[in-house]
Structure 1
Amino acid sequence: MIQDALRRFAFVTCFLAVGVFHCATGALGGDRTIRRKQPDRSTYQPPVLETHHLETVTVTQADRSEQAGEQHSGLVDAPLDALPQPRRRAEPVVTEASLPDPVVLSENGATVQTVSYETSNQRHVNVDPQHQAVQTCSCESCRSGGAHVPLPPPMPHTVDASPYGFAGEVFDGGCDSQFCDGASCDGGCDAIGCGPLGRLGLSANDWFGSVELLLMFRSGDRLPALASDGTLDDTDTQIFAGRETVFKDMTAGGRLTVGAWLDDYMDRNIVARGWFAGEQTYGFNANQNTHTTLVRPFFNVTDGVVPIDDTRIIATPGEASGELSIRADSNTFGADVSIRQLWYKRQGATVDLLYGYQYMGMDQSLTIADRATALSDGVRPIGSVLATSDSFDVENDFHGGQLGVATHYREGCWSFSTLAKIGFGSIRRRAVLAGSTFTSIDGNNATDPNGILVRSTNSGTHSDNTFGWVPELDFTLGWQKYPCFDVTFGYHIIAMTDALELSGVIDPNLSVNLADPAVGAQRPTSNFRHGTFYVQGIHFGLAYIY
């Protein structure tokens, strides 16, 4: 009697310890369904217990008071998978020799319950034939009108040999996305998981990512007047190019995100992203004959002359014919790598803190080329040619660290994610300015390294470094349209402070008496201006969910 009482006491104590540990982990936020492919409200499939090759243990009749005490403690209905376990399965190396001996519980010679173990390569599901085709869905809207399938009746438990306790997920051949489209699922996924990574021999639970189309708008840049039909101080002058905001139209770009989990509990991951906003271009071309006037305007600040609006004649009736070409482009791109650590999770929501490295680049260029042919004897003989060109190339490269917060919430088939972070580090700014003038008079050709907007006072390569910030904000709404995949839509904005743009390197004030640059005003200058540049827009994509 004493030995039997001690045995019953030890049995009850073990189950009480399991129940207390389950409650403690639940109180600490052990919601292990948040990051799995299965939605929070998936259907529970109980494990299976087997009854063969087992030892027999004799159990005496328990008193009603003890049975009532056990029933009151909640041990009878406690699930076998109550112990903590990873959200991502980690298959242990188990052999039959290393497994404990099977145990049989019997009463008065009759078998009451049996417990056995099996190795990972012998896992299976004992399902009633009428329930073999049962699949679950993430939400009612995903069933596409399919009828609700009732759960099968409870079945015996097969306990999986897992180092984390009773996993209760021993199956092979099911779809772990818990997604239905109509009456059936996606046809079944292999044990590795859904998606192309499974075909490559990699675990689909180890990776996640997305591919997105970006439709972006830049903050724009305002260029000075570059072409007109007269001086700028004349109210009747028409501006052909310049004095307007450029790089303001929508462009199409893309973004690729790839991530990997760094622990079995899927609380820490590494994420790498690369993106580009597409190329934005601006252009103007004119080929004028003797019926139209075309000039390049500038502000003349030559010493000894009252500053006035002046022009360089390209074409004018009876004097010259010519052509003018203006082309500008802008490119914006970036990449970053971050470590994300789970900070909070509750009721289907997670909050990650992130840190890492960030890069962002912004390049702009402008080329202005003109060619004028004299039609009468004046400043130049008839047939003489004067051609000038100015080019500006601007580069901004940011390298630095980043800190931020990423959140994610899922409710059935819908999800909502946010990203807020700020980069801080060094911005390397570089500007390359070049000009030239070509003249041909009576067959004699000459070249001068001075254009109109780029001359000896500001030509060459100019570069510096400064401290800058790159803040970023992103919102994404996802819908689980396909198994293991979300269709996404969102908004994105990213900025760079202290950036160098084309308007900051163009000086429209010119001093034309540059025979001796050491004498008189030194214009145009290389005193560049900086400002904040940003790009924003919407994005559409497809995300492999985790």
Structure 2
Amino acid sequence: MVLNGPLILVETVNQMNPVFPDYTRVPMETNKTTKWKLLALAAMLSAGSASAADQGNSDMTQYYTGAAPVSAEEGDIVYDDVDYSADNMAASFYGNEGQSLQPVAFVGDQQLGSGVPTPSPMMDDSYIVSNGGGCSTGDCGNSYEMASSCGSACGGNCGECRQRPVRKMLKKHDVWMTAEALLWFTQARSTTPLITQSAAGTDPELDVAGTTTLFGGDESIGGDLSAGFRLDFGRNLNDDFGIGGRFWWLSESSEDASSGGTVNGNAFSYGRPFYDTNINSDNSILIASTGVAGNDDFEGSFSAESSLDIYAAEAYARMKMLSGSGFRTDLIGGFSHFGIDDTLTVNSTSIQTTDAIAGNIGDTTVLYDNIETENRFYGGQIGFETMVNRGKWSFKALTKVHLGNMEQIYRGSGLRTFTDAGFVTTTSTDGGVLALGDTYNTTALDEDKFTFAPEANVKLGYKFRPNVSMSVGYSFIYWDDVLLSGDNINNVYNGDGITFPPGAALAQPVSERKDSSLYTHGIDLGCVIDF
């Protein structure tokens, strides 16, 4: 039967129990009866669902069709992706005439005393029923069924059968795992000039016009893109508390320069600059040069490299502080460990090719320096993470600070080797020409310092699957007190200590130990899996 016109409810007398009235659904001119208890039950269900949506711990304000909303919590009812729009329901239930009526929810498969099939309560989801006759439940296939039984004879005509919504209880995601690719830039580092170049026939000294620095200098090392990865995993112990761990690592950030083999000074002069305390002026150790006044000619080679490695490991707990419809803020606290290793190596070989002034042809000087600094941070962390969900989109903001002890370790080692071509003898002396004083293999420069490291991260995610999201974000972290190799180079010494044979021991004035700050930042590309 097709109903047209507005619907009203009127009270009638219950013949079996006159104390309780019955309610009759009257479509203008037709009276059909139903039981008030069933209508009361439907009203209670509607009121209960509205109350649940208003609870502070719920991230839902309504029921959804299709994929489960990102913000739904455990116990919420969600529906499969089926079209139950009000327009479709009205078109089927009331015909194709003026569709201004709102759907009415009935309890049970049909209204008592009526042959009109009626849908079960589906909250805001409408339901299309059959307007054909003679169909039985299940006649439209395993995944489709009629709203009510119309009889035993179908005759192959099921009318407008539609699939019932499949109700599912959304399960809480107890475990999470995030894997991210890191594309970060680390702050450029500084050193004194280490390898210099000048035109042929001129000294490669810093105070000579036209001399350029090939390796070293102020903020000249690093600063390029470094790739890495970050893993974050954990488990929710209950709705308000969870524990997790995080590990991230950046690939080695390095800078290098090399002569590419033995070179002469016909095109350029190359040298290792230093400040000579004997003459109180800039000077250089010649690597390759031709026609420099007051010097014999040399050929040689050089190589220099600086590298920086950074990693982090964390164990943390998270506790819910605030939550509402589609958002949540957690307090983060736990243990933090960072490792920052900076290594600087410079190696040069000078071979004398003339003996017009001093020495012998073939005299060779090899200078090797290696300086390593290690920074190990052990401390705690505290901060906040806020998550906002809107449908399949999510946004996270993390801000925290790491506080604790930074263990700073300095190691400088080197070797000076001299070969006298005339007597075919070799003399080696421990210690290079760049290390601080005489602390090559001691712990005199090791220190422990209290430091802090603020960190921030923002992330935008999109849920492609019920348990899988892809994200893009930005991270920044800053260390207040770090020991770096380039800041602790001393290139002030007496030049006589370098000559062959050694005229005197290499003497360097004591220099101040220097600490500096360091930061890294960049883009994160990630995948989040909840299960």
Q: TM-score scaled by structure 1? A: 0.65
Which string of whole-angstrom CA distances, capped at 9 and with x for unpartnered residues, describes residues 112-141 of structure 1? xxxxxxxxxxxxxx999769489xxxxxxx
Distance 2:380 2:455 in 1: 13
Query: Structure 1 residues 273, 355: closer, same or farther in 2, change over 3 A?
Result: same
Which residue of structure 2 lines up, in the alignment, with residue 282 of structure 1? 255
CA contact (8 A) 2:478 2:518 kept: yes
Residue 216 of structure 1 aligns to which amino acid in structure 2? W
Give 2:433's match in structure 1, choosing from 452, 471, 482.
452
Which string of whole-angstrom CA distances, capped at 9 and with x for unpartnered residues, describes residues 450-491 of structure 1? 322126534234311000001110001001123411111000
Which string of whole-angstrom CA distances, capped at 9 and with x for unpartnered residues, describes residues 71-91 of structure 1? xxxxxx9x9xxxxxxxxxxxx
Distance 2:510 2:341 in 1: 21
Which residue of structure 2 lines up, in the alignment, with residue 120 of structure 1? none
CA contact (8 A) 2:437 2:507 kept: no
Which residue of structure 1 lines up, in the alignment, with residue 493 of structure 2? 510
Distance 2:46 2:271 in 1: 88
Which string of whole-angstrom CA distances, capped at 9 and with x for unpartnered residues, describes residues 323-350 of structure 1? 1110111111101111000111112000
Which residue of structure 2 lines up, in the alignment, with residue 69 of structure 1? none
Distance 2:334 2:436 in 1: 43
Which residue of structure 2 lines up, in the alignment, with residue 487 of structure 1? 470
Which residue of structure 2 lines up, in the alignment, with residue 142 of structure 1? none
Q: Percent identity?
A: 22
Give 2:424's match in structure 1, choosing from 435, 439, 443.
443
Asked if residue 541 in structure 1 is aligned to residue 526 in structure 2, the reply is: yes
SS in 2 for 1:222: coil
SS in 2 for 1:270: strand
Distance 1:301 1:393 in 2: 26
Which residue of structure 1 lines up, in the alignment, with residue 461 of structure 2? 478
Which residue of structure 1 lines up, in the alignment, with residue 221 of structure 2? 246
Which residue of structure 2 lines up, in the alignment, with residue 332 of structure 1? 310
- Map 1:19-58 to 2 at 5 A: 29-31=56-58, 38-40=69-71, 44=78
Residue 432 of structure 1 aligns to which amino acid in structure 2? R
Distance 2:60 2:391 in 1: 12
Give 1:299's match in structure 2, choosing from 270, 275, 280.
275
SS in 2 for 1:403: strand
In the TM superposition, residue 509 of structure 1 has moved relative to its aligned partner by 2.0
Distance 1:457 1:489 in 2: 49
SS in 2 for 1:523: coil
Which residue of structure 1 lines up, in the alignment, with residue 233 of structure 2? 258
Query: Structure 1 residues 153, 506: closer, same or farther in 2, change over 3 A?
Result: same
In the TM superposition, residue 301 of structure 1 has moved relative to its aligned partner by 2.5
Query: Structure 1 residues 514, 38: closer, same or farther in 2, change over 3 A?
Result: same
Give 1:364's match in structure 2, choosing from 333, 337, 342.
342
**Higher Rg:** 2
In the TM superposition, residue 353 of structure 1 has moved relative to its aligned partner by 0.5
Distance 1:413 1:169 in 2: 19
Q: CA RMSD in A?
A: 4.0
Query: Structure 1 residues 129, 416: closer, same or farther in 2, change over 3 A?
Result: farther
Asked if residue 527 in structure 1 is aligned to residue 512 in structure 2, the reply is: yes
Distance 2:270 2:244 in 1: 54
In the TM superposition, residue 525 of structure 1 has moved relative to its aligned partner by 3.2
CA contact (8 A) 1:419 1:473 kept: yes
Give 1:432's match in structure 2, choosing from 411, 429, 440.
411
- Report how many residues are paired: 401
Distance 2:385 2:47 in 1: 33
- Map 1:80-479 to 2 at 5 A: 132=143, 169=168, 205-229=173-197, 230-244=204-218, 245-263=220-238, 266-286=239-259, 287-291=262-266, 292-302=268-278, 305=279, 307-317=280-290, 319-377=297-355, 378-441=357-420, 442-454=423-435, 456-460=437-441, 461=443, 462-479=445-462
SS in 1 for 2:207: coil
SS in 2 for 1:273: strand
SS in 2 for 1:354: strand
Distance 1:323 1:369 in 2: 8
Distance 2:320 2:196 in 1: 60
Which residue of structure 2 lines up, in the alignment, with residue 107 of structure 1? none
Distance 2:362 2:71 in 1: 82
CA contact (8 A) 2:69 2:392 kept: no
Query: Structure 1 residues 133, 268: closer, same or farther in 2, change over 3 A?
Result: farther
Q: Which moved more, 1:497-506 or 1:210-219?
A: 497-506
Which string of whole-angstrom CA distances, capped at 9 and with x for unpartnered residues, describes residues 81-106 of structure 1? xxxxxxxxxxxxxxxxxxxxxxxxxx
Q: Which moved more, 1:242-251 or 1:506-515?
A: 506-515
Segments of 5+ residues of structure 2 without an aligned counterpart are 1-18, 21-40, 62-66, 81-104, 108-136, 146-160, 198-203, 291-295, 499-503
Distance 2:165 2:215 in 1: 78
In the TM superposition, residue 22 of structure 1 has moved relative to its aligned partner by 8.7
Distance 1:476 1:128 in 2: 50
Query: Structure 1 residues 247, 524: closer, same or farther in 2, change over 3 A?
Result: farther
Query: Structure 1 residues 32, 483: closer, same or farther in 2, change over 3 A?
Result: closer
Higher helix share: 1
CA contact (8 A) 2:437 2:508 kept: no
CA contact (8 A) 2:406 2:451 kept: yes
Distance 1:151 1:249 in 2: 60
SS in 2 for 1:504: helix
SS in 1 for 2:251: coil
CA contact (8 A) 2:436 2:510 kept: no
CA contact (8 A) 2:402 2:454 kept: yes
Distance 1:256 1:241 in 2: 36
Q: Which moved more, 1:443-452 or 1:390-399?
A: 443-452
SS in 2 for 1:387: strand
Which string of whole-angstrom CA distances, capped at 9 and with x for unpartnered residues, describes residues 240-268 of structure 1? 222252111001100011111111xx321
In the TM superposition, residue 270 of structure 1 has moved relative to its aligned partner by 1.0
SS in 2 for 1:435: strand
Distance 1:394 1:493 in 2: 23
Query: Structure 1 residues 323, 154: closer, same or farther in 2, change over 3 A?
Result: closer
Query: Structure 1 residues 440, 207: closer, same or farther in 2, change over 3 A?
Result: same
SS in 1 for 2:173: helix
Which residue of structure 1 lines up, in the alignment, with residue 26 of structure 2? none
Distance 1:475 1:414 in 2: 14
Distance 1:431 1:382 in 2: 39
